[in-house]
Structure 1
Amino acid sequence: MSDDDEPRRGRGRRRNEASRFSGSNGVATAITAFLAHHKNKGHIKDAEVRKVLPEFSDRLRKEISEKMSAVFGLATASDADGKTFYLYSEVCPPAPYEMLGSCLMTHEELEDTEGRLADIEESFLVVVLIIILMNSSPPSDAAPRGSGLRLSTLWKLLDDAGLSPPVQLGAPSKYIDGVSTAHFVSRGWLTVQNEMVDGEKHTTVYWGPLAKAVLRPMHMLELYSKLVSASPKDFIDIYKYAESVEEKLGPSEYMLFADGSDNEDAEVVAITEEDTDSSEDSDVVMEE
């Protein structure tokens, strides 16, 4: 055996191990696909996961979720049919209980850091979800059967309250619009439905599949009640609706603006270099 045979055999063994990893449970390969699709369009279809992980199952999904949670602080949720998967941050921003005030517009409070803008973006999302919940009559999370809220009405309510997103976040239509590529829509927080009325297009906005999966109306109602110094039962119709959802689905594990973090002591699960070997050894399809 020549001296060159050993390193060549080592490379071959590593390549075989990477191929076997990709062909068996392929967790790292699937994580790469999840992250790529999340970055590009906010979600990934079950069929797209199975292109890189044919034996995708609930067990593997749990393993993928645990690793992404520990390493990236991202959790996964699926729509009601389990055909589309979404990622969302488990790292909650600090509790800005004054977020329904002018602070959302205060330039001095907006540091030029990605983290600060992410906090403002999530605060804006919470405001939008609360407005939809509190102004849908009767309140419903069932799109398109529920009443939802007209997009034009949503913009008016935001404008009247001085809650338009700060310019640093970009145009409001970047986040909410009648198209599937709008940021909050593509990531599953909102669902939109377009219809023609008297020759004009009208867009109705609903809670999306991710919001319905990880949030509860009761928590949002309680948050709103704190903000306006009221009791949730003061909004009796919405309270009864939120209570019925809670009884059906149980409380949410994802509490926006909760005190402290459940992830501070999370055990780090390493994704090794060998797990994420060169893309030439994987079948990841990155194109949409």
Structure 2
Amino acid sequence: MKKFAIILCLQVMALSLSVQPGEDPEQIGSYLGQKPPGRTPEVFAPGIVSTGAHEFAGSFTPDGREYYFTRRESRQSPTRIMVTRCIDGTWTPPEPAAFNATAAGPNAMSFEPMVTPDGKRLYFSSDRPLTAGSGPAGPPQLNIWYAERAGDGWAAPQDAGTPFNPMQVMYVSTARSGTIYTTDISKGPAGAAIAVMKPTASGYGAPQRLGPPVNGDTPGMYPFIAPDESYLIFSRMRPGEAIDQVLFVSYRNADGSWGEPRALDLGMRAGTPCVSPDGKYLFFSGGERGKSDIYWVSAEILRASAQTR
């Protein structure tokens, strides 16, 4: 189980794409001053976010003025959450977020940040020890942590506790209702599935796996839920195919059930989806294994899929 979670993480971290040389990009305006894409995916913020390192899994705050994403400079470097902020209309150079696991060791991992729709909490994965001040008894475990908003920054991260940990779920996406959609990894690599966690008076209920048609014969992972829970984007494995990891979108039916998932034609291997707070753009880590970065594409690609249902 531990080996699977770490391998799955490393597969995502192995995605990188070389950036073409050129002038320093301007970092003014929305989305780091980038020209919005159409229905063809484009690398997001070359030279700023996408630098040729291993970069994936990003999330904006609701006001669109902070962007958190994961970066690993090299195999010898720590995996860290980076942040860039829009201050007086100009975006700052990305820097490590304050809640990275530096105290847990030089190679400790913090990755896959996801900001909740209300902006009050940021979930992420980390292999830091669950007990403060103690080292892990065995191999590092990947668990869910969160930080609460405190002024312009974030409070010290907290272990999400049961039923998130130890190593039960990964990649947390929250709806406006507080319901969480996540990847249930409790049954190992062949059994990874999209699950839902409902808020309770004391926290959250145990992960409940969604049935067909969302979960099928191959592993499902990396869900992103629309704030109003009207649609669900997730990644599904396709072993043996040329593109072996594909993003799908499923829309909720009037009776509350989920519609048949439809593959998004992105033309590349894709994972870790996240839609911008304004609903205009889909962000994802894309490309062939070992050669990917953070991409973005117009969310019209989602609406086009809905029209073909």
Q: Same fold by TM-score, threshold 0.5 exceeded?
A: no
Q: Write 1 or 2 for the structure with the bigger share of strand.
A: 2
Q: Which has the higher contact order (CA 8 A, sep 6+)?
A: 1
- TM-score between both structures, scaled by the size of structure 2: 0.27
- TM-score between both structures, scaled by the size of structure 1: 0.29
Higher gyration radius (CA) = 1
